[in-house]
């Protein structure tokens, strides 16, 4: 992925992370997007979950930096966890996830723009495509 897109993503992530409500707003949006999503998280400790998601934005960035080998190198455990044998997260959930995330970035990033939105879509898209492609394995 080009350096400009990666830079835009990283800078926006920093601005979003400066908002203490960023991850609460995201999970509010995501859980509000469908009863099917709420069901998946019915037993979840959200303090732990927010820490996990915060860390995985960096992992998604590593994967996007090296589109050829990065996803396999960094995202395999996450793919196994979300796949059909464990959490059973199919592609339709990732659409809701990404929509909820972009809505959250729009609300939390004071320098939000169309380019910023594209940078999030592109960076997250690499990881999402990989996770979806590993669903059945
Ligand atoms: C690319 C997008 C996503 C990322 C980066 C991500 C990240 C994570 C991480 C880091 C964990 C913790 C893993 C562990 O404890 O081993 C997790 C758990 C989980 N994720 Fe995702 N996730 C994504 C998409 C989704 C989607 C679309 C759903 C759909 C509902 C989902 C549902 C869950 C559930 C139910 C758990 C387990 C929660 C629990 O322990 O109770 N995730 N996710």
Q: What is the pLDDT of residues 61-84, one digit of tens each?
A: 999 999 999 999 999 999 999 999
- Best substitution site from 26, 81, 85, 124 to test ligand 1's pocket, by max atoms within 8 Å of Cβ? 81
Topology given in CATH for the domain delimited by 3-133? Globin-like (1.10.490)
- Ligand 1 centre to CA of 133 (Å) is 16
Residue 46 pLDDT > 90, yes or no? yes
Q: What is the DSSP letter of 20?
A: T
Alpha carbon separation from 63 to 14, 18, 66, 81, 119 (Å, rounded) = 18, 23, 6, 17, 14
Q: What is the pTM of this model?
A: 0.97
| Domain assignments of the chain as residue spans, ordered by start | 3-133
């Amino acid at each position: 992925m080009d350096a400009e897109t990666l830079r835009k993503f990283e800078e926006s992530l920093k601005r979003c992370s400066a908002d203490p409500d960023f991850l609460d707003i995201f999970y509010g949006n995501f859980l509000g997007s469908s009863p099917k999503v709420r069901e998946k998280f019915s037993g979840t400790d959200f303090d732990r979950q927010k820490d996990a998601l915060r860390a995985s934005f960096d992992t998604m960035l590593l994967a996007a930096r090296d589109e050829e080998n990065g996803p396999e190198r960094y995202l395999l455990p996450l793919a196994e966890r979300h796949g059909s044998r464990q959490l059973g997260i199919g592609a339709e959930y990732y659409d809701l996830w990404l929509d909820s995330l972009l809505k959250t970035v729009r609300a939390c990033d004071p320098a939000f723009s169309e380019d910023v939105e594209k940078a999030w879509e592109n960076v997250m898209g690499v990881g999402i495509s990989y996770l979806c492609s590993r669903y059945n394995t």
